[in-house]
Structure formats: C-alpha cells, structure tokens
Amino acid sequence: MRLIIAEKPSLARAIADALPGNSKREDGAITVGDSLVTWCLGHLLEQASPDAYDPAYKQWRLDHLPIIPQQWRLTPRPKARGQLAVIRRLLKRATNVVHAGDPDREGQLLVQEVIHYLGWKGPVSRLLVSDLNRPAVVKALAHLDDNARYQPLYRAAEARSRADWLYGINLSRAWTLVGRQAGHDGVLSVGRVQTPVLGLVVRRDAEIAAFQPRPFHVLWADLAVEHGQLRAWWQPGEHHPLDDLGRLLERAPAEVLASRLPGAEGRLARLETQQKRQAAPLPYSLSALQVDAARRYKLSAKMVLDACQSLYERHKLITYPRSDCRHLPEAHFALAQRTLQGACGGDGTLRQWFTGADFTRRSKAWNDRKVGAHHALAPTGTQADMSRLSNTEANVFRLIVRNVLAQFYPTLEFREIKAEFEILGEMFRAQGREILEPGWKPLFTTRDEAPPLPPLREGEPARVIDHGVEDRETRPPEPFTDASLIKAMMNIARYVEDAEVKRTLRDTDGLGTEATRAGIIETLLTRGYLIRQQNALRATRTGHALIQALPEAASRPERTALWEQRLTAIAEQDAVPAPFLDGLVTDLRELLAAADAMRMREAFGNAQGVEAPARTKRQAKGRRSSGPRRSSNGKPAARRRRSNKEPS
C-alpha cells in the first residue's frame, strides 16, 4: 500500500481526485485504489520548549542563558495529536511513502519531520505539485522523484528552525528579564527577522521626527514656441545658493530674474530626443504582487497572501502562490493561449484584454534557466466564477492574469524629449514624453499621459507669456506602508551601510521569504510593536524602546540577510549546517552579554512613537508604577511566572 502524505487537506483532495479508481474517505485519509492519501495540517510538530530539555528552564533566569540543546527534540502541536495518530496508524499499513509537501523549503521540512518523528524507515518518494488542477496533478504523479534528492532542502529548513529557536528563545528571555528589571511588564520578543524589520520602521520614524524642512524656490516660465506653448523651469547656476540637489535656497535671485521676464524672448538652445522601448512587467512573484496590490487597492500583505491561498486551494484558479520567481517554464508558452482563454472567460475586463493579445509574441518571461523550485504566479486556466470570489480575491486574480496577458502585448514605445531654452542669458528646461506605441500600458493604467511637448526644432524662437515664483519646502521621508516595507524587505541591500556586505546582498532574497513577509508584519502589529495609521506603518513606543535597548547588530538587516544566504548555500550547494549553527551560538553569547537593565530603562525613558491600541497591548496588563516584584537573581517572583509565555 502506497501512502501519500500531503501538506494540507486541499492538496490531499487534489491528489486523490487525480488518482485512477474510486475514492473512499476514512478517518483522516482518502483511499483510492492501492493508494492512501492523508495530510498534515500545516506544521504538526514544533521545536520543544526549553523545559522539555531541563525542568529548571520553566523559570526564566538570566543565569540559564544561553539555552543550547545538545539533542534537539520535536513535540506535537497541541491540536495536531489526532492527525499524527492517523498518520502513525496508516504508516503501519504502508509499503512505501510519498512526500507531498509544498515545493519549497518549509514544505520539505513539514512532511519529512513527521515521517522521521514517526520512525518510518522504508522508501520515500517526492511528489512536487505547484498547480492543483487535475491535469497538472496527474502529470506530477507520473514523475515522482527520490526524496533523497531533496535532503539539502530539508537540512536548510531544519537549520532555519533550530536557529530561529536559539535566537528567539534566548534573546526574548534576556530582554524580557532586563525589561522587567527596568519596570516594563510583559514579554519582549526578539526574532532574527521581525526585529530587523521593526528596526527599519523605527529608524524611518526617527528620520521623520528629526526632519527639519528647508524652504526652496522655483521659477517657471510659460513659453510660446512655433507650434504651441510649454512650461519650462529655470536652472540656476552654481553662483547662486543651492543645496546638494541643485534647489535654490534664497528667493531673491528668482524674484530678480522674474522681474525681467515679461515679454522676454529667447531661443531653443539644445534639443535632445531619445526613443525608448519598455517590455511589459514580468509575471508576479508573491512579494511583487503584494507591493502592487497594496499600491493599487490598499491591501495589506496578509490580505494578498490570504487571497492567493484561497485562489490556489479553494478556487484552483492560480498556481502555487508562495513563489519568489518571476519567470515561467518554457513549456507553458505553447499552452498559454488556451490557459488564458479559460482564465479570462468569466470576467468582462479580462475578456477584453484577451482579445487584444497576440499569442505569436514571446517575451523573456518564459525561461527555464530562471525557474527554480517554483515559477511565477499564473492562472491555471480554470474559468473563474467571479460571483464566488470576494472583491479582494477578484482584484488579486485580475492582477495575476493581467501580468501574464501583458507578455502577449506589444512593447511600450515612447520618445523622451529634453529641451533647454536660453532666455536673458539664463537656462530654462522643459521635459516631455510622447507615446509612439502604447503596447501593454493600457492594461496597467487608465490615466492619461501628461500632454506631450509641441513639435520643436533646435534654434527656434521662444517668448515668455507668463511666469511665476513658487515657494516650496523639502519633505521628510515617507513612512513605511505595506507596499514599501515589503519592497524594503525584498531589496534589503539598500538599507545596508557596509559596502562589502551590500555587494554580497545585492543578489540575494533579502529579509524573510515570500511565504513569511506578510506574517512578519502581522506579528509586529499583533505584538504591539507596530500600528497602522491609515495606510502607514508606524512604530509604537514599545517598538522604539526595544530597538534602542538592543545591540545595533540585532536590529539591523545584515545579520539575518546573511543567514538567508547561508541557508540558501545549505539548500542549493549542500553546505553543512553545523558551522552555521556554531557561528550563531558564538554571536548569541556576544549579544546576551549586552543585555542591560539600565540601558533598557533609558530606552523606555527616551522612547518616542505612538501608543498601541489596548487590543494589542496584552503585555500592559498588571502593575506598572513600580514594576513587578522580583527575586534577587533577576527572575520574576513566583506569582508572576504565569506570564512567562515563550514568543512564537
């Protein structure tokens, strides 16, 4: 009997539907012919708590740290024992096992750790399903692989799980304990990804708070030329007071020139035209989709992820969504017209876009060399019943289909024009863009382009018909939003100061993964470190204080981004995990040595930021005026122990 273990029930049902023969449901499984299909419910197992290694660790004490397991243990999640018992029972009937976790690092870990935990010693095959439609699953079942090929992926995921435990347990306990010594009541959780993400927001908020606006001034002139009118802007020379961006810092020079402009005549001294072509944006990765959906529809990253999961699992309208790839397999090109015809059939906007597509075109989106474990998000070809989709699901679905359809539209072609006019011995500049071929652009925007400049020729006369001096101010950086924070996590090298590390990180995936970035933001919101103000993400007072109290290395992105690089080396180059974990333990000891109650007390005293709403401030319960009663070794007194909940 073959036992197929899927990552989740929706995948198990899709596999059962693709197997030949009649299916029969039983407790926790589906029988189809000589195969049994069962499932996990996400992670059935988790890293054991510290007190599983030593009961003394149930008390939080600084002198226990760092806690470093010698033999790692897993324990069933509280709600998973029933399904674990089902899989244990089914393994006794199995002659071989098929691992059907999602095709990524966590999917490999999630099922394989269950197989190991339950003691299976027989053969294991690997089933990779990225599309829940029946033809795709049938094809995947016909191409099972040896699970041994995916051990590097498993070792990387296992190393990630253990490293996160070491980092989170030890640093969260340390800063919670010194926080209590400083009078803060509650758990202060520290994580290898969430804390640097919080650091990004805290530092941006600090830049905004410290920003001092500076006035600057601009002078414009409306010019009559041979074939129309245009507006040009004065370009003051270096002998005027300018900032580092060339902006005029004093109004007087602009006023002096403005007084001479009425009726002044000049000529077009320099005309530069450049014809450009721009290919359509590639199909989406999850993070790129989250960025666009946040900008267009004001959706949070989690809302986009949830919509994608529903479109994938429930409606079977899109392929596997948690992908970091923006390319498609070359074999998909031949099927694209039929797939998109099905995908567009249930929506008027999509049908209209489909009729304008030219399926003889082939963009750079189809490239096997750039497709790894996953390919870009794409429609499966199933016709959507839009009445069954929520508004969010429908909007996200249209975005995904649109970006694939755009590959069959012409390239956007336009002409960029820069014109420099000499008037009264001063230079005025006008810029414009003329669309030659709109190509794919109408699929992405309904806004009209700014009117192009009139036809121009170098040397033609120009006359001033109007002018004005405007007073402006420099603006502070924009606060982070879901879109910009996800983009920052994707492109973390921009926020790294060390030139060598910046070069190293430029080609890596950044902070977190496609599957975790939305959850990281939601975790910071839930724990009261961030708050949403309209569309902006701002750090709370607690968030500011935690970042100020931690060593800078714990709140900056370099460490965790390099972690991802090392984990990738384990997954893709079969590197050994031990040096990575040993190096982490060395780092932990240095970080723990910096835990200091006085610094924490000063951080809370100096902390800026908004207060979190009461619904997210579970940590604020209890006494505040004098802090919790505590014993001589720095741990909370006995009556406080109930609040020592490990951060998840």
Q: Give how far Cα 399 sits from Cα of 332, 344, 404, 560, Å.
A: 19, 12, 9, 31
CA distance 625 to 316: 55
547, burial (CB in 10 Å: exposed 0-12, middle 13-18, buried 19+): buried
What does the DSSP assignment read for 363-392? -TTB-GGG--SS----B-SPPP-GGGS-HH
pLDDT score, position 558: 84
Query: What pLDDT digit, counting tens, does each position of 386-438 carry?
Result: 999 999 999 999 999 999 999 999 999 999 999 999 999 999 999 999 999 99
CA distance 484 to 295: 9
pLDDT score, position 647: 58
Q: Are the C-beta atoms of 239 and 426 separated by less than 8 Å?
A: no
Residues 298, 303, 307, CA angle at the centre, nearest 5°? Answer: 120
Q: Are the C-beta atoms of 318 and 397 separated by less than 8 Å?
A: yes
Q: Are the C-beta atoms of 15 and 129 separated by less than 8 Å?
A: yes
For residue 273, the cross-strand partners are 417
Amino acid identity for residue 212 in this structure = Q
For residue 536, the cross-strand partners are 481, 533
Give the chain's end-to-end CA distance (angstroms, integer).
38
Considering only CA atoms, which of 347, 355, 332 is closest in space to residue 383? Answer: 347
Assign 456 to helix, strand or coil.
coil
pLDDT score, position 646: 60
| φ, ψ dihedrals at 208, nearest 5° | -65, -45
Contacts of 397 (CB under 8 A, 6+ apart): 311, 317, 318, 379, 384, 389
Q: Are strands 215-225 and 145-146 parallel, antiparallel or unpaired?
A: unpaired
Q: Are the C-beta atoms of 546 and 618 separated by less than 8 Å?
A: no
Q: Are the C-beta atoms of 158 and 137 separated by less than 8 Å?
A: no
Considering only CA atoms, which of 482, 518, 491, 494 is closest in space to residue 286? Answer: 518
pLDDT score, position 641: 36
Question: How far is CA 95 from its chain centroid?
Answer: 41
DSSP summary character for residue 628:
-
CA distance 84 to 91: 11
pLDDT score, position 577: 92
Question: How far is CA 23 from its chain centroid?
Answer: 39
| φ, ψ dihedrals at 74, nearest 5° | -110, 155
Domains of the chain from N-terminus onward: 2-44+80-143 (3.40.50.140), 157-210+478-643 (1.10.460.10), 215-279+413-473 (2.70.20.10), 286-408 (1.10.290.10)
Q: Give how far Cα 189 sits from Cα of 51, 175, 518, 605, 623, Å.
A: 18, 8, 18, 19, 20
* Radius of gyration of the chain measured on its C-alpha atoms: 30
pTM of the model: 0.86
Query: What pLDDT digit, counting tens, does each position of 325-375 carry?
Result: 999 999 899 999 999 999 999 999 999 999 999 999 999 999 988 887 789
Q: What does pLDDT average to in each consecutive run of 10 residues of the chain (648 residues)?
A: 93 94 90 95 94 96 96 94 95 96 89 96 93 87 95 94 96 96 92 94 95 96 97 95 93 97 97 96 96 94 95 93 91 94 95 96 94 88 94 98 98 97 97 95 84 94 97 96 92 79 67 86 94 93 95 88 83 89 94 94 86 53 34 38 48
Which residues participate in catalysis according to the annotation?
Answer: 320
